[in-house]
Amino acid sequence: MYINGVWSGVSDRKEHAVMNPANGVAVDSIPLSTLDDCVNAVDSAAGAFESWSRTAPRDRSDLLYEAWRSLNARSDELAELIVAENGKTIADASAEVTYALDFLRWFAEEAVRIRGDYRLSPRGDKRIIVDRVPVGPALLIAPWNYPAAMITRKLGPALAAGCTMVIKPALETPLTAREIVRTFDELGAPDGVINLVTPGNAGPAVDRMLATGEIRKLSFTGSTAVGRILLRSTAEHVVKTSMELGGNAPFLVLEGASIEEAVEGAIQAKLRNGGAACTAANRLYVHRSCAAEFTERLAERISTLRVGSGVERINTVGALVSDAEVHKVRELIDQGVRQGANVVFQTEIPKRGAFMNITLLNGINSENVLTKKEIFGPVFPIVEFDDEVEAVRLANMTEYGLVAYVFGDEQAAMRVGHKLQVGMVGINRGVVSDAAAPFGGVKESGIGREGSFEGIDEYLQTKYLAISV
């Protein structure tokens, strides 16, 4: 916990052990922030806002560059910490660190490119100066699946824009957030600009922070269910919000697609982060003409993969973040099977630890729960379709709209991609995330964009000055 430049340990607070899900051993422990701590953190961010918002953009940029350099020099250490508290493989964690640090570098570059506007009114009676100013103290709430990237994707643009902040990481993975914040502290970020709290019960703590009326921006990444609650509670003080919520990504293999590319794309889109990604391909729609070949080749490919401790490089899929997550995934598979799904292939898993077998299923119809719920595990449900119109209809048959993947000849894939109700589309690619791209969803997958030029807009507001000619 870090409030107004002061770190607090576990000595005078309740303690929370952060567990390694691969072996059930405690990695470290953190203090649980009280409601008063959370309010103090907001006061601290509010107190630092005036001076931080007036710092030279170049100074804010330099701080972000220095943090990027410093964390980059310790990227292996950071990746190992992610493996320890989250369970993912070291390869996934290293990729996450690269992605996470890209946001610091990108927003170091953007800090000095915030543009305003200047125009003459149509009546010619005044000049209109349009300024873009930081929105105010921000509350940044992150989930456990990307312990570094979900922090930097918010902290980077917030700092660059001139906002101060209170960060609330997930209780499962607060140690990576602590390392990132510690780096900014060591680099001399002024007291109060970045605060870190770790309350034991997020709901009341966040309500209390919002009730201060000092938070002007809420950026949340997590489930749609919690996003809905937060949209309601931010309405009270009309807080600007960014919501990066759940996904249910369709993965489409069109007639004539390269099966080899589609199989590799599916592996990437599904198994990155062990399937615990909002961007994970949730349901695979495969044209009936190639469904048998695709299923067979995907099963063959999966049979070469191993699930096990993230520390061992031989494993493609590590542990899920907790036993509870494994239980949730197993329940979904059981339910899917009761509704007619057929298990084609399942890998082995270690005897102990929060591991989930990579599972391939077919015989699924569009009503099956595996096509409706976000699975968040290494599970591939295959649904067959007959034509493009049906594929688009099935893909859009969800309240979510984060990302979709389409494999096929480029023209057909682009045509289908344009018809999908999502914020992002991978065309013959299993990965879309990039710090330079606007990340975000439509429908109930969220509001706003992170990364890219758009990412900094989320922390700015427009102010106009009228000057008589």
Residues designated catalytic:
244, 278
Structure tokens at 127: 């000049």
37 forms part of the interface with ligand NAP (CB under 6 A): no
- Residue 30 CA to residue 358 CA, distance in Å, equals 33
- Residue 148 CA to residue 98 CA, distance in Å, equals 10
**How many CB atoms within 10 Å of residue 462?**
11
| Span 151-210, contacts to ligand NAP by CB under 6 A | 168, 170-171, 202-203, 206
Cβ-based nearer residue to ligand NAP, 243 or 290: 243
Least gap, CB of 373 to ligand NAP (angstroms): 10
231 forms part of the interface with ligand NAP (CB under 6 A): no
| Span 101-130, contacts to ligand NAP by CB under 6 A | none
- Residue 111 CA to residue 56 CA, distance in Å, equals 9
- Residue 151 CA to residue 153 CA, distance in Å, equals 6
Identify the residue whose tokens are 């489930």.
223
Cβ-based nearer residue to ligand NAP, 30 or 114: 30
Backbone phi, psi, residue 110, to 5°: -75, -25
Cβ-based nearer residue to ligand NAP, 402 or 456: 402
Cβ-based nearer residue to ligand NAP, 254 or 369: 369
281 forms part of the interface with ligand NAP (CB under 6 A): no
Cβ-based nearer residue to ligand NAP, 52 or 376: 376
Structure tokens at 104: 């610091």
b (16+ CB within 10 A) / e for 299-323: bebbeeeebbbbbeeebbbbbbbbe
Question: Taking Cα atoms as reference points, which of 357, 373, 263, 262 lies closest to residue 317?
Answer: 357
Least gap, CB of 202 to ligand NAP (angstroms): 4
Helices (H), 286-344: 288-302, 323-338
**Binding test (CB under 6 A) with ligand NAP, winner from 31, 134, 143, 336:** 143
Sequence-distant (≥ 6) Cβ neighbours of residue 428 within 8 angstroms? 261, 265, 406, 407, 408, 410, 413
Q: What secondary structure, in 3-state letters, does 98-145 show?
A: HHHHHHHHHHHHHHHHCCCEEEECCCCCEEEEEEEEECCCEEEECCCC
Taking contact as CB under 6 A, which single stretch among the options 16-24, 102-110, 221-229, 343-351 is the one that binds ligand NAP? 221-229
Cβ-based nearer residue to ligand NAP, 44 or 86: 86
Residues 247 and 374 sit within 8 Å (Cβ to Cβ): yes
| Span 291-350, contacts to ligand NAP by CB under 6 A | none
145 forms part of the interface with ligand NAP (CB under 6 A): yes
**Binding test (CB under 6 A) with ligand NAP, winner from 31, 381, 446, 448:** 446
Least gap, CB of 195 to ligand NAP (angstroms): 15
**Binding test (CB under 6 A) with ligand NAP, winner from 31, 247, 308, 455:** 247
Cβ-based nearer residue to ligand NAP, 216 or 373: 373
273 forms part of the interface with ligand NAP (CB under 6 A): no
Q: How many angstroms separate the first and last alpha carbons of the chain?
A: 52
Least gap, CB of 198 to ligand NAP (angstroms): 8
Strand stretches in 159-295, DSSP E: 165-168, 194-196, 217-221, 240-244, 249-253, 281-287
Taking contact as CB under 6 A, which single stretch among the options 31-39, 103-111, 243-251, 293-301 is the one that binds ligand NAP? 243-251
**How many residues at the interface with ligand NAP, by CB under 6 A?**
28
What single-letter DSSP state applies at residue 240? E
466 membership: H or E segment, kind and range: strand 460-468
Which string of x and - marks every residue 367-406 that binds ligand NAP (by CB under 6 A)?
A: -------x---------------------------x----
Structure tokens at 391: 């594929």
CB closest to ligand NAP, residue no:
222
Cβ-based nearer residue to ligand NAP, 39 or 257: 39
**Binding test (CB under 6 A) with ligand NAP, winner from 92, 110, 244, 457:** 244
Taking contact as CB under 6 A, which single stretch among the options 53-61, 84-92, 182-190, 220-228 is the one that binds ligand NAP? 220-228
The binding site for ligand NAP (CB under 6 A) comprises 141-146, 150, 168, 170-171, 202-203, 206, 221-223, 226, 229-230, 244-247, 278, 374, 402, 441, 446
